[in-house]
Amino acid sequence: MKDSMLNAIETRLGLSRRSFMQFCAAMAATMGLPKGADAQIAHALVSAKRPPVIWLHFQECTGCTESMLRAEHPTLEKLILDIISLDYHETLFAAAGHQAEAARRASMAANKGKYLLVVEGAIPTKDNGVYCKVGGQTALEMVHECAADAAAIIAIGSCASWGGMPSTSPNPTGATGAPVILKDKAVVTIPGCPPNPYNFLSTVVHYLTFGKLPEVDAKGRPKFAYSRLIHENCERRPHFDAGRFAQEFGDEGHRQGYCLYKLGCKGPETYANCPSILFGDVGSGSWPVGTGHPCIGCTEQGIGFQKPIHELAELKYVLPPVGYPRIVEEQGQGMSAGSAALVAGVGGLAVGAGAVMARNLGKNKKPDDTDFGKE
């Protein structure tokens, strides 16, 4: 890439070129793109025309925006200013009232068929959608109006993706996700409560770089982020395999950092990249399971906020082993005739060799309090 372009990015984003290239490489890595993609991304971010973005807030808590505001490489406001052109965002926008609505309509008309629509929050459908109104318009009316001429649509957070928290039983307002409302449109969903900001950023960057949204699964989720169970990449997984579990918050197993499956961790049935991408830019362990709380399955419809926290997860395909290795081998108990036979058999040893081994094991001293662990 030309120096002049990198100089430009330094002043525009207020990022050193090293940080900028790191960001591009991180985006490429998050999306699992092949070598060289980071350069393509860098090129696109520097030279592509900033796509206009309309960001709608419906039945939500602003948590998705809040979590974006704490992303650091780069921060959302840098992304807003320099990578996308945010033409409408209720929380961050300068204008108020009908001015803001006018700005939204003007941008939609000027950028017909070219703008990116981001939906945050669920859309209530009960009683003609009276439970959420923006500028006198229901969320239902507004999302149809804004989706009609959008180039692409991203639903950020579980609420926009599948209804989220407000849609759980008894769903008092008929809260519904954007893909169900916008049946005839392709909607990329980034579920999570809140979702990881980098999954959203990566999706936008993919769109900028390659002119299309990333490959998605049957639920509209980018495959780069949602194709693995949490359980597969969890740092506590060895404890699961070894049968070491926390039973209660604050018990010995919990303090030892054991597996949280028996506290109701939904990692075994939840698809997301939380354990590998982490939250909050503070390094290892910075995600719910890392800090000692079971996964609540916030990305998954029917699990997040619906299944009780302490209900055991359904084990999808990662099953616990039939038998567990022992955690602490008692020393010097000698070998029982049965286990000696097992050792001999398993090892495929001759009976004689097995007998020798059994005899050797039997020579170990019987432990007592004074010399336990010394040997």
Partner 1 sequence: MSRLVIGPFNRVEGDLEVTLEAADGRVASAQVTAPLFRGFEQILIGRAPLDALVIAPRICGICSISQSVAAARALGQALGVTPPPNGALVADLLLAVENAADHLTHFALFFMPDFARSDYAGRPWHAEAARRFAATAGQSAREAMAARARLLHVVGLLAGKWPHSLTLQPGGVAKSVDLGERVRLGQIVADFRRYLERNLFGGSLESLTALDSFVALEQWGERHGDSDLALFLRLSRDLSLDSQGRGVGRFLSYGGITGRAGLWCDGRVAPLDLAGLREDVSHGWMQGGALHPAQGQTRPDADKPMAYSWSKAPRLDGLSCEVGALARQAVSGHPLIADVLACGGWQGSVHDRVVARLLELAQLVIAMEGMIAALSGEGAYCREHGVPGRAEGAGLTEAARGALGHWLRIEDGVIAGYQIVAPTTWNFSPRDADGNPGPLEQALEGTLLEPGASPPLMVQHIVRSFDPCMSCTVH
- Report 298-327 residues binding partner 1 (CB under 8 A): 298, 305, 308-310
Among candidate residues 336, 375, 374, the one with its CA nearest the CA of residue 358:
336
Work out how close the CB of 38 gets to partner 1 at its nearest, in angstroms, rounded to a whole number.
Answer: 23
Task: Provide the terminal-to-terminal Cα distance of the chain, rounded to the nearest Å.
Answer: 62
* From candidates 72, 217, 330, 371, binder to partner 1 by CB under 8 A: 72
- Nearest approach, Cβ of 172 to partner 1 (angstroms)? 3
Nearest CB to partner 1, comparing residues 90 and 334: 90
Angle in degrees, CA 338, 344, 347, rounded to 5: 135
Q: Is residue 290 a contact residue for partner 1 (CB under 8 A)?
A: yes
How many Å apart are CA 77 and CA 318, to the nearest integer?
A: 40
Structure tokens that stand for 362 in this block: 């039997």
State which residue, 294 or 354, has the beta carbon closest to partner 1.
294
How far apart, in whole angstroms, are the C-alpha atoms of residue 286 and residue 283? 6
CB of 222 to partner 1, least distance (A): 19
Binds partner 1 (CB under 8 A): choice among 140, 296, 303, 358: 296
Q: Which is nearer to partner 1, 202 or 209 (CB)?
A: 202
168 and 308 Cβ atoms separated by less than 8 Å: no
Instruction: Tell me the per-residue interface mask from 180 to 219 with partner 1, x by CB under 8 A, - otherwise.
Output: -------------xx-------------------------
- With CB under 8 A as the contact rule, which of the stretches 29-37, 166-174, 224-232, 236-244 interacts with partner 1? 166-174
Q: Which residues pair with 156 in a beta bridge?
A: 120, 190
Residue 216 has phi, psi (to 5 degrees) of: -125, 165
What's the 3-state SS for 76-111?
A: HHHHHHHCCEEEEECCCCCCCCHHHHHHHHHHHHHC
Q: Of 79-98, which residues contact partner 1 (CB under 8 A)?
A: 80-81, 86, 90-98
Q: Which of 16, 286, 339, 364 binds partner 1 (CB under 8 A)?
A: 286
Q: How far is CA 34 from the centre of its chain?
A: 21
